[in-house]
Structures are given as structure tokens and as C-alpha cells.
Amino acid sequence: METGFTASSERLRWLMIGALLAVGLWLVAWLPIAGTEAYGFVHFVRPPLRDLLGGFDPANHVLNTVLMKRAVGVLRLSAFSLRVPAILGLALFLWAVAGLVSGWRRGGLAAIALAGAAYLGMEYVAPASALGLALALWTCAAQFAMAYLEGNQRDELRNLNLVGICLGLSMAANFGFLIPSMALALVLLLATRRWIPWVERVMVTAAVSAFLFLVLPFSHASARQLVALALRPPRLSLRAPEDLTGLIATLRTQTRGKTVRIAASADLVPVLEFYQARFREGGWRIVEVPGPADYYVLDRPAVQAPFRTVYRGRMVVLAR
Amino acid sequence: MIQILFGAGFTVGLAMALGWLLLRGLRIRLCRADSMLLAWVIGSALLSLAVFALCSIGEARASIFLAAGIPIITWSGWLWWQDPPQKSALPGKPPISWQVLFWCGFAIFITIYFLNALAPEASPDGSGYHLGNVLRMWQRHGFAWDYHSMYAYFPQGLEMLFLVAVCLGGYSSAALVHTAYLAALPLLMARFGRRCGLPRAALGAGLLVLASPVVGVDGASAYNDVALATVSFAALFCYQFEDEQSWHKLLFVIGLLAGFCFGIKYTGWLALPLALWWSPHTRRSVWLLGGWALSAGPWLARNWLWLGNPVAPFLNRWFPNPYYYPGPEQSYVADLRHYEVFHHWWQAPVDLAVFGGSISGILGPVFLLAPLALLALRHTEGRRLLLAAAVWAVPAWFNSGARFLIPALPFLALAMGLALENSWGALPAVVAFQLWACLPSTLAAYAAPWSWRIRDIPVAAAFGRQPEAAFLASRLLDYGFKTAIDREVPPGGRIFSYAGRPEAYLDRTIVVSYESTLGLLVQDIIAEALTGDRSVQHQWRLEGAAIRGIRVGSREAGEQYWTVREIRVWDGNGEVRPQGWRLSASPNPWQSWLAFDGSPVTRWSTWQPLERGFWVQAEFPAPLAITRVAVESAAAPEAHPQLEVATGEGAWSKVPDRFADVSAIVPRDLRREAMNQLKARGIFYLLINDSDLPAQDLNENSNQWGVSKIEEAHGTRFYRIQ
């Protein structure tokens, strides 16, 4: 009976994970591009890698950026390809949570569901922050740490190594996970009190994993900037992203084959540049308002003369 | 290109032959790989000694190199063929994946370095004093005893090998010889790791060092830092054979290598205390010291006999000599130590490892993980490696520049490898990252644009498809003056410059301001003319008693040098000109005559900070009835000079101050007189950068100076003194 119960609950958990992944895939495909995602594309994904090595930007979450660049390179530019790291993070996160609750007879399913929903919600309100990927890697590290503490002799050192690698990659994904990663490492040390394997397998591995991704971009930062980055809470955006697909379609129709200047507010310029690259609109010259232009994309619904509204969305208008 | 490869190949082959013969002669039996590597390093020390001997007797010629070298190579090759060393049977072969990683990384970077070395030599110091010295030795078939420059006083153990290579193949051959050391270094590290049971750590460490940008650019040029690193590492490597070979022979070889380190550059003296510390046989250290003396002794002896200072151009206070002075020595050393001011302490290691903007040269980003090497302290070998790294890092305190850390890098990298070996995946990841981050194309993305590194792979120049002159003109700004210099300056002619120039290509004597006493004097003459003749005159009136000599001494101390422009003496008939006078001074007796030459722009200087009791004097052949003595000296520092007169043999008495008065001298325009003094010393040309002290005045007042501009380019002007 117990074996049957365990087997069926195992199957239910995998079904739940599959369902959450499916929801996640649907969301990344359906949700319109957000301002922060477009900013990340314009400043970190589109430029060549060499440009990223030459400066420090606190918004550049290095591992996330590297994965986005690879995904865009393989899958071509789209909102989906930019969100591949988030989906990868979701898969890792759910796998790690499932591993952590594997011994729970009751509540494990609910834990997975709640964790998955929380992850998706976090990605919704903080897109392109790499929080999800960092959290997923941190949770993987926690899962490997649990496996090590449970005393699986055969995989003992392997699990410790994986703790270190995951913690390092978590910091590389979002440097704000420096303190949580150090905390987890310290907890592991206090639980095991075995210095040498802890140093060799966890600390060194974590340091090297993070170092390889972060050393070049971070070498341009001051110590104060790095401390601020490590301590800075994640920035959440409570405003739902505006779906500009209709506006973009109208703009493309109006400007087909022509070279036009398009002025937009500072928040919308990266979004337009994303769609320009997405649809290869070489004739668009996107500038920030104020400034003379052929078209204006404004986030204020009230348009006055001499502007004529071409497309009106929920929060933005296209005018000329 | 064939000639270049022949020159380098013959030099390396001859060195290996000599090394192999020594190992056979000492009956030191090693496996094939160890034999080849150590034969090259040990043989290069022997070849250096042999060429030193030839240079000492003025017979360093291509014909002699070939005549002696071909039989040696042939004989050595025959002995090798007769009784080849066995292949290595060491346990602990590294995994295949590591071997593939190592050989792929090695092949990529050695190819980059090889092609850069094959291209015309355009490095600053390489085309400057390293190959400049070699050029002079080539032209004179030996040491240029009449050429005085501080860089000629340095030991030139590696330049001996460069000489063989340049004679047979040109300057690029010399760079290729240095690249041969660079190729040997990671292989030696790999063999070391194999013997210590650290194969993966050693392969990884070898790649970390090989890929390091400063190691690459140095090793692909006619420098000597990588050679020093290789030879010093080889000395440590020899200790691995302590259980297999007789100790006294091994210690002799180690001593030879340690001495060769000193012969390569002065900082190589550290190899001796390290070797003595490593040696477990204190009483047998006499063999080690003997080998060291054989290798290093000739350089000390050369400088002692030639200059009176065995460690010239340093320690001139201990070994006073007319070829360099304590004050400029202090200034030179202080300049070498000058590091850019960093606002925060952590900026220094970041600049050293990543940017190379303020500290010339880049180690590579992974060396920011160097603190992890402290984990190697748990192991005996790790402690030994870290101690060696710390000792070899000492010169970097006294010389700003990443290349002074190159000798420490192999030891540090091995310690890092040892520390990372047990962290699964860490070492290969670090190595792969260093290989990627140190490629020239990747470096261009993050390193400072002006950092010293390999920027490209000059295939066209390497294979001779791009004219050498065009390549050099693009890399060496001063090369553009070669045509004008060849046209204007006769062979043997002298050109004064404040900065070093590519002497290897300009083929004229460049008198550089800080490099020699002549340069310092010329710099002083120009400064006197430029600063407007601010001087004072101390005058004493005497009663006309018969005096056998006068002495002017200082009564104050200070930071600046004390200078005396002129000492003039009158008797009842007027001014008395120096004729048959015995002139001397303390310090700097060799230039005491400058205080009596009648020229207002030349002056005797202490060339070290002023102290009480410094003096300059003149002794007359017969007593003179002196009525007045006038001493012209700079207004600062004020030495409050004391006049003493010699009334009898050795009897000096002070002249009271009540007989003295002080007056300022009306400033004179001394520009043309300064140029006349330069011409009197055989200097008829000037190469002046915009940043040099007299640049603006020379440009604006060339008529008053008596110079005419021949050519101007890239902020440098070439003048003729009319």
C-alpha cells in the first residue's frame, strides 16, 4: 500500500511539475516584452560580448546575459528566446523543490505547486532580473546539501562539489545572492564540521564558478558598487507590461519600406529597439523625446494637436 | 625567414648539444624528456660562458660560432644516437583529457608567440638596449669597452646567446631564442608535476603561465624575464633528482643555473639563497657555490676590471667610479619603484591582472585567484613553491612592471594548481578561462588600449610579405627618423636624447641623458642654459702670500647636489689660468676639471646629496701669490663654502669669512655656449620629445641655441647643432 501510495504521489508530483512547466512555457510565449527585458536586450544581449567585458552595469546579470545571448543565437530573437534562462530556472527550481520535499508524505504536491506559482509570480513582477535563475540554482545547492547531509556515501563528494558549483552560478546569475549563498555554505559547515572538504569542494568551487563569470565585468566596478549590488533588494515592477504588439503591427504597416524617425519616451525606447531588431526594421531611427520625428510613441493617452493619433492602446499611443 | 630560423635553431641546438655533453660528462642519467629540457637550459648557461670568453678576447664572430658549433652539435648528436636516454617510465600519467587540453593550449599560444617573434623585433627594450648592446658586440666582435651606458654594465648572460643568433640570423632570431625558453617553461613544469605526483596541477599551471599576456609578449621579444623564470625553475626542477643522481654533481649543475640567473639579470641573485635553502646538504653546498661562481663570477669580474664596480651601475657609494654616480643611481631606482597612485589598494591587483593600464603588463584575470594558493600550504611541496614565489616576487617591489613578477609566476601557478586540484572541475575551468581571456582578440575587449601585450598575429611580417621597414615604422615611432639619421649623422656620430631610442636600428651612438656620466653632464649643461644662469659668486680677498693650493669645501648638508661652476684665481698680475695644476674633488674627482675649464655652462657636481665636508681643490706646481679667489656656484643649494689654502706640503688653513663677500651674477644667455660644449664632446645632433625639458625653448629659440630642425614627427624633433 505504502509503495503504491509513494509511486502514485511520485507520479502526481511529476505531473504537477510538467503542468507548471507548461504554464511557464505558455506565459513566456504569450506575455508581451517588458521594459526591463527590452533594456536587457538592447544593452547586454544585442552588443557583442567584447562590449560587455569593457564596463560594469549593475543591471547586467552576467550568467543570465550569457544564456540569453546563446538562446537568441540558436533560436533567433523573440520574447521567448530572451526568457529561456527563466524557463531553465523554472525547470531547475521545480526539480530542486521536488527533491527537497521528496520525503514529505503529505503536502509535497502543494509545496511544489506553491513554489512554482511563486516563481512564476516573481518572474512576472521582476522580469529580466535573473532572480528566478539565481533562486533556482540556490535551491539546487540546497537540495544537494540535503543529499550530502543525508549521508549518501557513494555520492558524498559529488554532492558537495555540486553545492559549490550551484552556489557559484547562483551568484553569477544575480550577485544579490552572495549573502544567501554564503549563509547556505556556513550552515553546511556548521552541520558537518568538516573543514577540508567544505573548503575544497564548496568554497573553492563556488568562488571559481562565480569568478569566471563575474571577474571581467566586475573588474570595472568599485568595491562600493559591488557591496551595494550585493545588498540591493530586487527591483519589482508592479505595473503590468503593456502589450505593444498591436502598436508595432500598425507602425510596421505605416512605415513599410520607408526610413522614419520614431520618438518615444525613455522607458519605451528599448522596447521599440527590441521590436526593430525582432522584425529587422532597418528603416527605423528611434530617438528619445523631445525631438523632431515622423512618429511618436507616447505613454500618455491624451494626445493634443498638432499630433494625430494613429493607434491608441491601453496605456500608449502612436501619433504623428 | 630561413636565415632567421637557422640563426635561432643553431643557437638552441648548440646550447642543447653543450648541455647534453655536460650531463653525459657528469654521468647524470635522465629520461629523454628531462634530458632534452635540461640540456637546453644548462647548455644555454654554458654557451653564454663560452661566448663571454670570446667577447672578452674580441673574437665573437659568426665564423667561429659555426666552426666550433657544428662539430659540437655533430659530436653530441652522434653520442645521443649511440646511447640515447630512455623514455620516461614515471607513474601517474595525466588523464587523456588533460593531455589534450594541455597540448591544444600549448600549440595555440606557442604558434601566436612564434609568429610574433618571427616578425621584426619591435619591443621597446628589445629594440633598445638589449639588441643595441648585441649590435655593438657584433660590430666589435666582443665587448664594447669604450661604450658607456648603464645598460651596458648589466650582466648580459642572455645577450651572449642573442649575439650568436643575431650573427647568424638577425634580430628576430634573438627573439626566437627567448621564445625557446618560453616553450620550455610549461614543459618543465609538466615534468615537475609528473615527478611530484601532481600531473594535472602542473599541466594546468603550465598553461596558466604560458597564456599569461605579459609572459607571452616578453617571451616573444628580445627580453630576458622569461629566460630568468625558466632557468630559475629548472634549478628547482633539478632537486627532483636527489634520489637518483650523485648529489655533488647535481648541486654543481644547480649552482651553474643559479649563477646563470645572475648572469641574465641582477635580480637573478635570488636564485642562490633559494638554492642554498633548498639544499639538504649544507656541507656539499661548496659544489653549488662553485657552480654559481663559474657562471656568475665572470660578470662580476668584468665589471670590476672594467669599471671598478662589480655590480655597476649600482652601489656606487660603495664602489666610487667615474662611470655612474650615487645620486642618479638613487633617482633611477626611485623611478623604477614608482607605481601609479591608486585611490584604493584593490585597484593595484586588478590593474595587474586585468587592465595593465597603470602597471605595464597583464598577468591574466585568473591570477586574482592567487590567494587560493595559500591552501597549498598544507603540503610540503606547496610550502616550497609558495616560498619560491614570495622570494621571486621581491624584485617587483623595486621595479614597477608586471614582467618583474614573471619569475614568480611558475611557482605561484603550481601552488594554485595544487590548491585547486581537489575541487572538481575548478582547475580545468580556470585554465580554459585563462586560455580564452588571454587570446589577443579577447584581451582587446577589456585590457587598457595602451597596455603592453600581443595585439595581433603579424603573419605577413613574420613571413616577410610585409617590408620590415613598414612594419617597424608602424610599431616603433622613432624608426621614422632612421632615414634622416642615416643621411645626416656620420657613422660613429653621437646623438643626444633624453629618452631611450631603438638603438638596434638607428645604428648611431645615442647618448641618453640618464644612462651615462656623459649623458648626465650634457643634460646638466642644457639645464644650466635653460634655467637662466641663476648663480652666486663667493669671493675671498687674500693678502698675496705664497699659496700652494686652494680648496673649497661645503659647510652645509642638503638633499640637492652641490655644484661649482667656476673657481677663478687672481694674483698681482691678473687672473691665473690653470696650467699644470693638480685638480681633485670629493666626491667625483673625475670631473673636478669642470670647475676650472672657463666655461659658464659646465660645472663640477657632487652627483649625490650635499654633505658637510665635500670639497674641490687645485694644487699648483709652484707657489702662487694669490690675491683673490672667486667661486661661482648655483644659488641652491647654499653650501656656505669654506675656502682653505695650502701654505705648505699638506698643511691646509681656513680663510676666515671676514675676507669673503657674496654677490649675485648677472644672468647671461648661455644657450649657444651650451651647444658649443656639446660639440666639444662630439655631440652634433639632438632628438627631443615634446615632453622633454628644453623642447619648447629649443623650438621657439632655435637661433639662440644655434640649432636647426632636420625633421619632426610624432611629437619628436631631430636637430642639428650648427
**What single string gives the DSSP state of each residue in A99-121?**
HHTTT-SSSHHHHHHHHHHHHHH
Is the predicted pLDDT of residue B458 greater than 90, yes or no? yes
Query: Is B450 within 8 Å of chain A by CB?
Result: no
pLDDT at B683 over 90: yes
* Cell triple for B309: 664596480
Task: Pick from A205, A218, A225 the residue to mutate for testing the B interface (most B CBs within 10 Å).
Answer: A205
Identify all chain A residues contacting B424, using CB atoms and an 8 Å cutoff: 157-158, 161, 201, 205
CB contact under 8 A, B375 and A199: yes
Is 70 exceeded by the pLDDT of residue B522?
Answer: yes
| Contact call for A53 and B354, based on CB within 8 A | no
Cis peptide before B587 (omega within 30 of 0): yes
Residue found by looking up cell 674580441 in the block: B58
A141 CA: distance to closest CA in chain B (Å):
15
Q: d(Cα B152, Cα B132) in Å, to the nearest integer?
A: 9
Q: Chain B: give the shortest CA distance to residue A57, in Å.
A: 14
Contact B420 A204 (CB under 8 A): yes
Measured between beta carbons, which residues in chain A are less than 8 angstroms from residue B418?
Answer: none
For residue B376, the chain A residue with the least C-alpha distance is A200
Q: Do B344 and A223 touch (CB under 8 A)?
A: yes
Q: Please compute the mean of the pLDDT values over residues B421-429 and round it to a whole number.
A: 91
Q: How far apart are CA B588 and CA B611, in angstroms?
A: 13
Q: Where does the pLDDT of residue B87 fall: very low under 50, low under 70, confident under 90, or very high at 90 and above?
A: confident
Calculate the average pLDDT of chain B: 92
Q: Quick one: pLDDT at residue A239? A: 46
CB contact under 8 A, A208 and B420: yes
Q: What angle do the packed helices B380-393 and B271-278 form, to 10 degrees? A: 160
Domain boundaries, chain B: 2-60+101-446, 479-528+671-721, 534-664
pLDDT of amino acid B266: 96
Cβ–Cβ gap B429/A199 under 8 Å: no
User: Hey, are the CB atoms on A216 and B429 less than 8 Å from each other?
Assistant: no
Tens digits of residue pLDDT in B525-548 = 999 888 866 788 889 988 877 889
Count Cβ atoms within 10 A of the Cβ of residue A300 and give its class: 0-12 exposed, 13-18 middle, 19 or more buried: exposed
Distances (CA, A) of A101 to A106, A320, B327: 9, 57, 76
Confidence (pLDDT) at B544: 75
The set of long-range contacts for B240-243, using a CB threshold of 8 Å and a minimum separation of 24, is B240/B192, B240/B195, B240/B196, B241/B28, B241/B30, B242/B280
Task: Note whether A216 contacts B355, CB cutoff 8 Å.
Answer: no
Q: A161 CA to chain B: closest CA distance, Å?
A: 6
**One-letter amino acid identity for B47?**
L
- B103 in contact with A, Cβ within 8 Å: no
Three-state SS at B539: strand
User: What pTM was computed for the model?
Assistant: 0.91
Mean pLDDT, range B187-204, rounded to an integer: 93
Give Cα separations from B118 to B8, B25, B62, B122, B482 (angstroms).
10, 35, 21, 11, 22
Chain B partners within 8 Å of A51 (Cβ): 445
Using DSSP, state whether A269 is helix, strand or coil: helix
- Output the pLDDT for position B191: 94
Closest chain A CA to residue B372: A204
* Structure confidence by residue, pLDDT tens digits, B224-275: 999 999 999 999 999 888 767 677 888 999 999 999 999 999 999 999 999 9
The SS3 call for residue B114 is helix
Residues of chain B in contact with residue A207, where contact means CB-CB under 8 angstroms, are 369, 372
pLDDT beyond 80 at B704: yes
Residue A34 has, within 13 A of its CA and on its CB side, a CA count of 21
Shortest Cα–Cα distance, B194 to chain A (Å): 22
Identify the H or E element spanning A319: strand A317-319
| For range B268-285, the mean pLDDT | 84
Contact list in B for residue A209 (CB cut-off 8 A) is 426, 429
Cα separation, B347 vs B351, in Å, equals 6
Q: Is the dihedral of CA B242, B245, B249, B255 positive or negative?
A: negative
pLDDT of residue A153: 58
For chains A and B, what is the number of CB pairs under 8 angstroms? 65
State residue A294's pLDDT score. 84
What is the C-alpha separation between B132 and B150, in angstroms, rounded? 13
Place of cell 657674496: B662
Read off the pLDDT of residues B115-173 as tens digits, 9 standing for 90 and up. Answer: 999 999 999 999 999 999 999 999 999 999 999 999 999 999 999 999 999 999 999 99
Please say if the pLDDT value at position B299 is more than 50: yes
Q: Are B130 and B223 in contact (CB under 8 A)?
A: yes
Q: Which residue has the higher pLDDT, B292 or B640?
A: B292
For residues B366-394, give the mean pLDDT: 94
The tens digit of pLDDT for each residue in B52-75 reads 999 999 999 999 999 999 999 999
Q: List, for residues A112-160, the tens digit of each pLDDT value.
A: 888 888 888 888 777 777 888 999 999 999 999 998 888 765 567 888 8
Determine which of B307-311, B487-491, B528-532 has the lowest per-residue pLDDT on average.
Answer: B528-532
Q: How many CB atoms lie within 10 A of CB B442?
A: 16
- The ranges of chain A with pLDDT < 70 are 1-6, 105-106, 152-155, 233-243, 299-305
Q: Is B293 on the interface with A (CB under 8 A)?
A: no
B375/A49 touch (CB, cutoff 8 Å), yes or no: no
DSSP A159-170: HHHHHHHHHHHH
Helical pair A108-125 and A131-149, crossing angle rounded to 10 deg: 150
* Amino acid in the structure at residue B294: L
At B373, the pLDDT band (50, 70, 90 cuts) reads: very high
Q: To probe the interface with A, which of B208, B345, B367, B424 has the most A CB atoms within 10 Å?
A: B424
Can you tell me the ipTM of this complex?
Answer: 0.88
**Residues A263, A274: Cα–Cα separation, whole Å:** 15
Query: C-alpha grid cell for residue A167?
Result: 552556489
A279, with CB counted inside 10 A (0-12, 13-18, 19+), is: middle
pLDDT of B459: 93
CB-nearest to B423 from A53, A54, A200 is: A200
